[in-house]
A and B are shown apart, each in its own frame.
Chain A
Amino acid sequence: MEPLTLSTFPRAIVHIDGDAFFASCEQSRRPKLQGRPVVTGKERGIAASMSYEAKARGVTRGMRIADIRKVCPDAVILPSDYETYSLLSKRFFAIVRRYTPDVEEYSIDECFADLTGLRRPLKMNYFEIAARIKKELDAELGFTFSVGLAPNKVVAKIASKWAKPSGLTAIPGKELHRYLAQLPVEKVWGIGPNTTALLQKHDIRTALEFARASEDWVKKYFSKPFFQIWQELNGAYVFELAIGEHETYYTIQKVKTFTPASSERAFVFAQLAKNIEHACIKIRKHKLAAQRVVIFLRTQQFRDFGLEVELTGPTQFPNDILRAVTPAFEELFSPQAAYRATGVILLKLTEAYYGQLDLFGEAIRMQRLSNLYESVDTLREKYGKHTVFLGASFLAHRSAQHDSERGHVPERKLELLPGETTRKRLGIPMFMGEVH
């Protein structure tokens, strides 16, 4: 078979993926859970992550807890402990940054890193560097990672998936065709069901068949992103890494599930209001302001209904956003439906600045709101998140977020050290269980 390219690693990109990340975070800190089917997401009522033991028993992401108990009665179902997962995620990226500053934090449990040019300073070849990073991750975080080394991001993704879990796969350019020949085209990152259907009409089933298609043909039938995927499948480096710690928030999103599902207008609106308040806390923390808002309601059947609202000016206060989205909420809400979650996304973020004076006293009003929320934020820092809130979200604060909140609080939040409170804990992950 003819290779797609003759070079090996003109660029050396690794994709690193935590194996069953959340479930592994749980297993690695509690020896009792090792080797057992573990599922996280109890507080949401659906599986957010499952250990390989649980996957082997047929538990899938998004499966309802009741169904999990049917297919896998001995599954250990735990509430998500995002605080701990985030701490471990930060460590994951920090360990990769020991080797290269060029790290893209793609999501909480995966990243890309550029190793190009590190062979000489580290006196190792790219495969050895990738192996070393994997070894340190596995040893220091206490669970396994899958690593793929390739000339670009699209192929690195294929490589990391090649031998999951705990895989370490290198796909040099000149070997690329051997891997792509075995890979169904829909497994390629970015190729969805629609594109797959179109490709199948043209008798393209494997990633190699797509890679071997002519440039003119690809350009004729597909948009730019797919042409770029095609280029990367041929070994080129096209998709740049988005480097840097996630400090720039392009959007701010808050979604919260509640059980039981509700058809009560005031209650669902209160849930939305609470999310808006939370999103605004975050936006103020980052000293940003939003110019556009998306709200959505999720029904019991997991269908989302959303609307986008343009604000009259950038704001970071829930009062403004609530007023602007109320008509949209009225349009979305149907009393016949039962809702299980609401969400808000703040978009078009700019730096908060209310300097400009205007004829209608808008600047003065903003200054007043700004003073008010400065006090609100001070109170929150001192006494906790829900010290003061808007009347609009009262109903959402009155009851627990979930019907039976018992057993839905992560163990770490109950296992406090002297001096810790439910609001503030040491930023170091904890080993759980008895120590004898």
Chain B
Amino acid sequence: MPSYSELTAVVGFRSTNAAYKLVTQLVDHGWLEKDTAGKLLPGPRFHAVPVLGTVTAGFPSPAEEELADTMSLDEYLITNKEATYILKVNGESMIGAGILPGDMLLVERGAEARDGDIVIAQVDREWTMKFFRKRGRRVFLEAANQDFKPIYPTEELQIAAVVRAVIRKYT
């Protein structure tokens, strides 16, 4: 780092006092630092380039930068974090849609069901998982299993949640 008089000459100031003021500004903004003896050192902003990762044998590691555009499995499976619940499947009513007893579901509560969605509805104080079907103004629930009859609601259909993902973990 230059001394005050060297700096005065470089910048073309008339007095070292002007250089001193400039340095004070640069220190305030983090470009320079003073050590205990008052000597100037490069400040934290001097090298303020993003550090992307440690470099080993002279070749830059692009890993960190590339990973910025990846997401976790959580982020991939869950859109609305606050409204997502899990549940375990017991019945076989959706076997034709590939959902088996013991599977785990990620469901979104309060989401609006569209025709063809798999939903968790509340029927006779039980959870039931079915396809949500909409024919004109009429809605009904349909299983993916011929042993189950479609459910035509007599009162308002209570849809608790829409199924967003099925997880089957093998241990």
Contacts and interface: CB of A to CB of B under 8 A. Distances in A.
A139 B107 CA distance: 13
A431 B87 contact: yes
A282 B88 CA distance: 33
A140 B127 contact: no
Contacts of A139: 83, 109-110
Interface residues of A, number: 27
A171 to B, nearest CB: 28
Interface stretch (B12-20, B37-45, B89-97, B131-139): B89-97
Contacts, number: 84
A419 B106 CA distance: 16
B107 A431 contact: yes
A418 B129 contact: no
Nearest to B112: A139
A136 B110 contact: yes
B87 A435 contact: yes
A193 B95 CA distance: 62
- Interface range, B side: 20 to 34
Interface string B126-169: 11110000000000000000000000000000001100000001
Contact of A91 (B82, B89, B91): B82
Contacts of B169: 417-419
B46 interface: no
Contact of B90 (A91, A95, A419, A436): A436
A431 B106 CA distance: 10
Interface string B10-54: 000000000000000000000000000000000000000000000
Interface in A378-436: 415, 417-419, 426, 428-436
Contacts of B89: 435
A34 B81 CA distance: 25
A429 B85 contact: yes
B122 interface: yes
What 4 A-B pairs come out closest when comparing CB atoms?
A139-B110, A436-B91, A140-B83, A431-B87
23 contacts: A31-B125, A32-B125, A32-B126, A91-B82, A91-B83, A140-B109, A417-B86, A417-B104, A418-B169, A418-B170, A428-B84, A428-B106, A430-B85, A430-B86, A431-B87, A431-B120, A431-B127, A431-B160, A431-B161, A433-B126, A436-B90, A436-B91, A436-B128
Interface of B: 80-91, 93, 104-107, 109-110, 120, 122, 125-129, 160-161, 169-171
